[in-house]
Amino acid sequence: MTLKDATQTADALIVTRASELSYWTSLIFDYAEPAWREYRSARWYVDRLRAEGFTVEESSGGMPTAFCAEWSNGPGPAIGMYAEYDAVPGNCQAAAPHEAPRDGLGVMAAGHTDPHSALGIGSLGGLLATKAAMERLGIPGGLRFTGEPAEKLRGSKPIHAAQGYYDGLAAMLSFHPFYMLPLCNTVRWDTHCGAAYAMVYRFHCDAPQDWGAQDGAPIPQAHSDIRAPGANDALMLMYQTARSLRDSMLPHRGGWSVSEAILATGQASADNLPARRADLQYMIRTPDLQMAEQITAHLDRVAEYAAALTGCRVERHWVSKSRPGLANHALAALTWQALQEVGAPVWPEDALQIARQVQEACTGTADTQPLIPECTSLIAPEAAEAILRRDLPPAQANSTSDDYTEMSWHAPTARLYIARPALRGGPYPPWAMNALGGIPATIDPTVICAARVLSHTALRLLMDNDARQAAWQEFEQRKDAAGNIPPLCDYPAPIDLPWPEYVETVRGRHWHIPG
């Protein structure tokens, strides 16, 4: 038995089940459920994995839409992979070469943008292909596959990490469809994603009558006398103040961002009554934890001042606290070797014709070669790293945002990027990329390529003791050099905040912003 025997067996499984992988990708694309509300998507994965022989823990980490699946072929190393499946509100798009929401929904419903539908099924394909080769050739070891909700909020992985779901793995393989150049058909090298904090500031106006009132003085006209501005005013005061002071929060060094989102609370107050509750979410993306702590302390102060000025009290609810990522050259090199064996995705003529239709729908013209050249070529990790570093300060160790970084503190982790269809020219409206990520002919090559690379890498790790040891030794060295940061999650899963979701009514399935 050789590694080539194993990878050929895995490739054969992927070819045999290609139509299933395509259908599954379309199914998750159509479910398009947003963060913390991915009920149908998680249910589908749980049922599918059990049908494939995995033991599955549902609601792992106290998260209703998370899971952890395991399978063993006897004593040996365990390899981890995972699925993401959250979609983004305001991006509802049909799998069609023209702008249109999915049937029965409006454009403000959720849709897959990255797309996580391809991410999850590409990873599942790699998992099932690895399992098939292990069973057929008697390769010992195990597989672990986690379901990770709310990636857009960096939600589940800090919770899973703190509760030990990534412990005991020989390696973790992380795949994502490419979303920025030069990280396309390559593997991250040194500069991994950074830290991130996310939280919701909730303003309560519990006693509007006390704001500005004189002791013992009655309110003669309850609707017209002085009253607290209320929760909406607190939210807007914080929103505007934090934005105006953003440039003063930190020195201008490195890449960092603070973005905010207003979570609707569903209330409909009369215009002369104060709003009772308002929620404002922040996402802080920074190269390191020190910067995240500095910005959080400033936001805390602004929140307290805004609450005091408007007759409110404020609560802070954590959504995420995640660590920056650790590189692992040994595992990245193995993954890069597998990518070179497999090659870049190949889009047949029918897929290219669909891409041209999308171009025409957006611009009125189409290119003979509608996809950017990076979609069909490989770039070495070191070459991509050199391009990535050109715009970064030398002292900045991390850049951009994704919570796979949590896994890198528990096992050697490789971050693989496979091309998704991206059009030449532009600029294009968001629906164009979203549609190409859902049309089977245009997204299937991404899924198939990712599945093959992941299975080739996993099988090499399972069969090559020296390769595993090299990756683990580097992991231990890098973890110690970076201060061996423990999990930061000290909060429950934020599942009870008013995240948008779908509801079933007598009128069918509809998009809903809860109160």
Which tens digit of pLDDT belongs to each residue from 332-376? 999 999 999 999 999 999 999 999 999 999 999 999 999 999 999
CA angle at residue 274 from 202 to 263, to 5 degrees? 35
Same domain, yes or no, for 311 and 439? no
pLDDT per position as a tens digit, 299-324: 999 999 999 999 999 999 999 999 99
Q: How far is CA 29 from the centre of its chain?
A: 15
pLDDT in the model for residue 400: 87
Same domain, yes or no, for 410 and 339? yes
Same domain, yes or no, for 310 and 333? no
Q: How far apart are CA 459 and CA 139, in angstroms?
A: 9
Same domain, yes or no, for 164 and 271? no
Q: How far apart are CA 158 and CA 295, in angstroms?
A: 20
Q: How far is CA 122 from the centre of its chain?
A: 15
Pairing of strands 78-84, 142-148: parallel
Q: Which of 35-49, 199-213, 250-264 has the highest mean pLDDT?
A: 35-49
pLDDT per position as a tens digit, 220-238: 555 556 678 899 999 999 9
Does residue 488 fall inside a structural domain? no
High-pLDDT (> 90) share of the chain, %: 84
> pLDDT band at residue 38, thresholds of 50, 70 and 90?
very high
Does residue 515 fall inside a structural domain? no
- Structural domain ending residue among the three candidates 323, 357, 384: 323
Same domain, yes or no, for 247 and 334? no
Same domain, yes or no, for 201 and 160? no
Q: How far apart are CA 492 and CA 291, in angstroms?
A: 23
Residues 328, 414 contacting (CB under 8 angstroms): yes
Q: How much is the average pLDDT of 179-199?
A: 97
pLDDT in the model for residue 275: 86
Listing DSSP states for 434-456 in one string gives: HHHTTSHHHHHHHHHHHHHHHHH
> pLDDT band at residue 250, thresholds of 50, 70 and 90?
low
pLDDT per position as a tens digit, 389-422: 998 989 899 988 899 999 999 999 999 999 999 9
Place of tokens 């404002």: 280
Number of structural domains in the chain = 2
Residues 507, 499 contacting (CB under 8 angstroms): no
Q: How far apart are CA 419 and CA 122, in angstroms?
A: 12
Of 300, 465, 436, which Cα lies nearest the Cα of 372?
A: 436
pTM (2 d.p.):
0.95
Segments forming the whole domain that contains residue 318 = 196-323
Of 286, 356, 284, 360, which Cα lies nearest the Cα of 324?
A: 286
- Structural domain ending residue among the three candidates 289, 323, 357: 323
Q: How far apart are CA 213 and CA 222, in angstroms?
A: 12
Of 52, 33, 50, 53, which Cα lies nearest the Cα of 41?
A: 33
* Res 264 pLDDT > 90: no
* Res 283 pLDDT > 70: yes
Same domain, yes or no, for 97 and 228? no
pLDDT in the model for residue 244: 86
Residues 65, 41 contacting (CB under 8 angstroms): yes
Q: How far apart are CA 296 and CA 73, in angstroms?
A: 46
pLDDT per position as a tens digit, 432-491: 999 999 999 999 999 999 999 999 999 999 999 999 999 999 999 999 999 999 999 999
Residues 466, 170 contacting (CB under 8 angstroms): no
Judged on CB neighbours under 10 Å (0-12, 13-18, 19+), 35 is buried
* Res 104 pLDDT > 70: yes
Same domain, yes or no, for 178 and 217? no
Q: What is the CATH number of the domain that holds 106?
A: 3.40.630.10
Does residue 313 fall inside a structural domain? yes
Listing DSSP states for 43-95 in one string gives: HHHHHHHHHTT-EEEESGGG-TT-EEEEEESSSS-EEEEEEE-EEBTT----S
Q: What are phi and psi of 256, to 5 degrees?
A: -150, 155
Residues 312, 230 contacting (CB under 8 angstroms): yes
Place of tokens 């934005």: 243
Place of tokens 């096992």: 411
Same domain, yes or no, for 432 and 465? yes
Determine how many CB atoms are found less than 10 A away from the CB of residue 74: 10
Q: What is the CATH number of the domain that holds 312?
A: 3.30.70.360
Nearest-Å Rg of the Cα atoms of the chain is 24
* Mean pLDDT score of the chain: 94
Does residue 492 fall inside a structural domain? no
pLDDT in the model for residue 217: 58
High-pLDDT (> 70) share of the chain, %: 95
pLDDT in the model for residue 470: 98
Same domain, yes or no, for 100 and 207? no
Which DSSP symbol is given to 404? G
* Residue 212 zone, left/alpha/beta (φ > 0; ψ -120 to 50; rest): left
